[in-house]
Amino acid sequence: MSLIKRNIEYPIFVLIFLVFTLLNRFGVLNDYVMQVVQLACIYIIMTESLNILNGMTGLSSLGQAGFMSVGAYVSAMITTTFINVNAMNPVMQVVMFIVVTLIGAIVACVVGVLIGMPAMRLRGDYLAIVTLGFCEVIRTIWRVVPARIAGAAFGLTGIPKLANFFWCYLFMLLAIYACRNFMDSSYGRACLAIRDNEIAADTMGINCFKHKTIAFATSAFIAGIAGSLYAHLLVYIHPDVFSYAKSSDFLVYLYAGGVGSISGAMLGALALTVLPEILRFLGNWRLVIYGMLLLIIILFRPTGMFGGREFAFLKLKTGGIKTFHFSTFTHWVKGLFRRKEKEAATAK
Amino acid sequence: MANFLQLLVYGFQLGSIYALLAIGYSMVFGIIKMINMAHCDFLMMGCYIVYFLVTVVFGGAELIGPAVALLIILLGSSAIGMVGVGIERVAYRPLRKRPTIMCMISAIGVSIFTQNLFRALPFIGPTPRYFPVLIEDFTVNVGPVGISFTRIITIILAIIIMLILWYVIENTKIGMQMRAVSNDKDAASLMGVNINRVISATFFIGAFLAAVSGTFYATAYPVVQPTMAVALGNKAFIAAVVGGIGDIRGAVLGGFVIGITEILITSVWSAIAYGFCFLVLIIILLFKPEGLLGKPMTEKV
């Protein structure tokens, strides 16, 4: 009981899950809305993984979709080509899904390390360019893998639908807490030190190369999980889905939400995945308005919507400018009213 | 051998288009250290403005003759140059004091906005359009190699434009200011260089060259649509980095290297051509991080 009292967010997580599931069951939220919610969960995982590189370690990566594609293709190739999942009983299907997701994530992790180690020679914009290059090279590899195994240029079809809202939601929470723990661990603190000043961190005895490699590996692992979820949710993947445009989407989510903050990444991904769907009534103009809103966010809140704050429920010890308690919000609202009253008084 | 020479001509044509586009990337990076992800949209806009100038002013008449065609291209490209200055003013200038990656994010936003705006505007729309033939084309046979007239004109015009640009950068006041700003912004500012004016001029030149290269591209591959420029922009960007970003000679060299490589690889195995360009980029960056002609960077403590 005291666990729940100390961690009031745990029952809330369960409650959110139950609300969405029940609303879907009783037909209030149709499958289309649920699809958007599930995709939002996956994009939150991706943005968190990008936050480890861009936000915590200060390595700008433009190739996150490449890691995602590795996770997606490896896991989907196993379930589609090598084993027959549909003939298994439901329990085995679940076990199989978790196993292939982990395999996909581990392969993505290995690829991440292989890419990260040589790329570490470069800094700043050049690292971003090289990761972008690797992302496009990986995409080209999926294009030329024989059609029998990975569908080549037609894309991989007939992937069994193993992921559902439960898995997306669960993995999202796991990813968020994994990032939280990473940030609070000695590795995460070392990464933050490298971000703030690499030379100073080096002189303080932090092994920069090792910690950058760890950051790449963790980030690629989480991206691989997101890729596997993506493949088993949409049951169809194509090399062009994981293009540079996808990577830049995640980058935009991260920076619009607030770089370096786990809550910011979460909020940015959620808001910018849902926003185009809300704007759907605008028809052709919806992405124009989306682009405009994006520009407005970036121009008027250059530190992101959340400005480096963290939700209090994450209980972070490091990082984050200011913890965002619920009371912060109420204070802000009260202040707003007070200002209104003051203005009214001066007007009189 | 004849086949190879023929491919080389195609490569030079594509390379000259990439080079013109890469110069814009390179100049912008040299001056404000920012990767302008929206640069390729200037190419797309350039294509559309020339398309509309030809179809509206000349009522869809083709073969308007070289002089008129050149005039229209210069007119349309200048307009796009002004658009470039405007975009810098609205979307990048407020973020200049921020980390450069914020400018890049802003550029991605601009890119999403422009591409979808062009797709949503009723008189443009997402449907591909056929770009009109501007000048009469004929083929000159040089030995076994057939060279089409537009191809050779494209290459020659591109080289002339690059030479003019070279002259402007080396010998005029604004060019000298540009070099000063790219060397040290603060010191240049103290010496009385108007930084804002220099940056505006850079964006004008970059957007102008992108629009010109767009027209050249459209004469070679006459299909115009709002998303045409993304892959092109990426390759031109690679070209700029391969040659050494921030250096105009590097951008030209990189453009020709990438253009020729792409054409040669496409003739062997077209599926990997796009990825192979990136492989070239990675290999060059890993062994010579500053690019082919770039100066080595030193880190200050």
Span B21-60, pLDDT tens digits: 999 888 888 888 888 888 989 999 999 998 888 888 777 6
- Nearest residue of A to residue B87, measured between CA atoms: A295
Rounded-to-integer distance, Cα B291 and Cα B245, Å:
7
Does residue B215 contact residue B64 with C-beta atoms inside 8 Å?
A: no
As a whole number, mean pLDDT of residues A305-328 equals 67
B106 CB neighbours in chain A (<8 A) are 295, 298-299
As a whole number, mean pLDDT of residues B273-295 equals 82
- Nearest residue of A to residue B288, measured between CA atoms: A122
Q: How far does B258 lie from chain A, in Å, by closest CA?
A: 14
Q: How far does A38 lie from chain B, in Å, by closest CA?
A: 24
As a whole number, mean pLDDT of residues A67-93 equals 87
Q: What are phi and psi of A206, to 5 degrees?
A: -85, 130
User: Which of the four pLDDT bands, split at 50, 70 and 90, describes residue A326?
Assistant: low
Confidence at residue A110, expressed as pLDDT on a 0 to 100 scale: 94
- Nearest residue of B to residue A301, measured between CA atoms: B95
Residues A233-265: tens digit of each pLDDT:
998 998 888 888 889 889 999 988 888 888 889
Q: How far does A99 lie from chain B, in Å, by closest CA?
A: 31
How many helices, marked H, and strands, marked E, lie in chain A? 15, 2
Q: How far does B190 lie from chain A, in Å, by closest CA?
A: 27
Q: A143 vs B113: CB contact, 8 Å cut-off?
A: no
The partner residue sitting opposite A134, judged by closest CB among B37, B95, B282, is: B282
Rounded-to-integer distance, Cα B231 and Cα A245, Å:
10
Q: A299 vs B276: CB contact, 8 Å cut-off?
A: no
The partner residue sitting opposite A130, judged by closest CB among B100, B276, B285, is: B285
CATH class of the region A2-307: mainly alpha
Between A342 and B147, where is the model more confident?
B147
Q: A284 vs B120: CB contact, 8 Å cut-off?
A: yes
- Is the four-CA dihedral B62, B63, B68, B73 of positive or negative sign? positive
Confidence at residue B148, expressed as pLDDT on a 0 to 100 scale: 83
Beta strands in A107-233 (DSSP E): none
A295 CB neighbours in chain B (<8 A) are 91, 106, 109-110, 113
**A146-160, A167-181, A332-346, B160-174, range with the lowest pLDDT:** A332-346
Query: Which spans in chain B are helix H?
Result: 2-32, 39-52, 66-87, 100-120, 149-171, 173-183, 185-190, 195-220, 229-243, 248-268, 273-287
pLDDT score of B183 more than 90: no
Between A172 and A303, where is the model more confident?
A172
pLDDT score of B114 more than 50: yes
B241 CB neighbours in chain A (<8 A) are 126, 129
Q: What is the mean pLDDT of chain A?
A: 85
Q: Does B56 touch chain A (CB under 8 A)?
A: no
Tokens of A203: 């002189």
What pTM was computed for the model?
A: 0.87
The partner residue sitting opposite A298, judged by closest CB among B109, B230, B279, is: B109
A294 CB neighbours in chain B (<8 A) are 109, 112-113
So where are chain B's domains? 12-229
Q: Which residue from A266, A302, A264, A195 is spatially nearest to B100, judged by alpha carbons?
A: A302
Confidence at residue B247, expressed as pLDDT on a 0 to 100 scale: 80
Residues B211-231: tens digit of each pLDDT:
999 988 988 888 888 888 888
User: Which of the four pLDDT bands, split at 50, 70 and 90, describes residue A333?
Assistant: low
Rounded-to-integer distance, Cα A292 and Cα B74, Å:
30
Q: A295 vs B238: CB contact, 8 Å cut-off?
A: no
| Cβ neighbourhood burial of B26 (10 Å; 0-12, 13-18, 19+) | buried
Does residue B259 contact residue B11 with C-beta atoms inside 8 Å?
A: yes
Rounded-to-integer distance, Cα A295 and Cα A318, Å:
30
Q: Tell me how far the alpha carbon of residue B22 is from its chain's centroid.
A: 5
A290 CB neighbours in chain B (<8 A) are 112, 116
User: Which of the four pLDDT bands, split at 50, 70 and 90, describes residue B300?
Assistant: very low
Q: How far does A140 lie from chain B, in Å, by closest CA?
A: 5
Confidence at residue A347, expressed as pLDDT on a 0 to 100 scale: 66
How would you classify the pairing of strands B129-130 and A310-311?
unpaired
Render A242-265 in DSSP notation, one character per residue.
GSHHHHHHHHHHHHHH-TT-HHHH
Size of interface A-B (CB pairs under 8 A): 115
pLDDT score of A128 more than 70: yes
Q: B120 vs A287: CB contact, 8 Å cut-off?
A: yes
Q: How far does A130 lie from chain B, in Å, by closest CA?
A: 6
As a whole number, mean pLDDT of residues B117-130 equals 84
**A128-137, B30-39, B108-117, B128-137, range with the lowest pLDDT:** B128-137
Rounded-to-integer distance, Cα A336 and Cα B284, Å:
56
Q: What is the mean pLDDT of chain B?
A: 86
How would you classify the pairing of strands B223-224 and B129-130?
antiparallel
The partner residue sitting opposite B94, judged by closest CB among A132, A285, A299, is: A299
Render A228-244 in DSSP notation, one character per residue.
HHHHHHHS-B-GGGGSH
Q: A133 vs B110: CB contact, 8 Å cut-off?
A: no
Residues A33-46: tens digit of each pLDDT:
899 999 999 999 99
